[in-house]
């Protein structure tokens, strides 16, 4: 197993998995009933995208105090 310097949040495996989750949620919710587009579908999509966004935001702080 080789180690390398992390230059971006995109290098983090946890961010990559979060992105995969978001893509999966978008694909899954595409088949949900259209009357759920502003309810459950929207909430699931926003929360999945939020995971990756929060990881990127945390990486950008370069501090553990927050």
- pTM, entire model: 0.81
> Which pair of tokens denotes residue 63?
């501090």
Question: What tens digit of pLDDT does each residue of 1-56 get?
Answer: 567 788 899 999 999 999 999 999 999 999 999 998 889 999 999 999 999 999 99
Q: Are 51 and 18 in contact (CB under 8 A)?
A: yes
Phi/psi of residue 47, each to 5°? -70, -35
């Amino acid at each position: 197993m080789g180690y390398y310097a992390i230059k971006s949040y995109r290098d983090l495996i946890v961010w990559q998995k979060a992105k995969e989750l978001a893509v999966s949620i978008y694909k899954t919710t595409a088949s949900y009933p259209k009357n759920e587009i502003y309810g459950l579908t929207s909430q699931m999509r926003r929360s999945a995208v939020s995971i990756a966004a929060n990881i990127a935001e945390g990486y950008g702080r370069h501090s553990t105090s927050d």
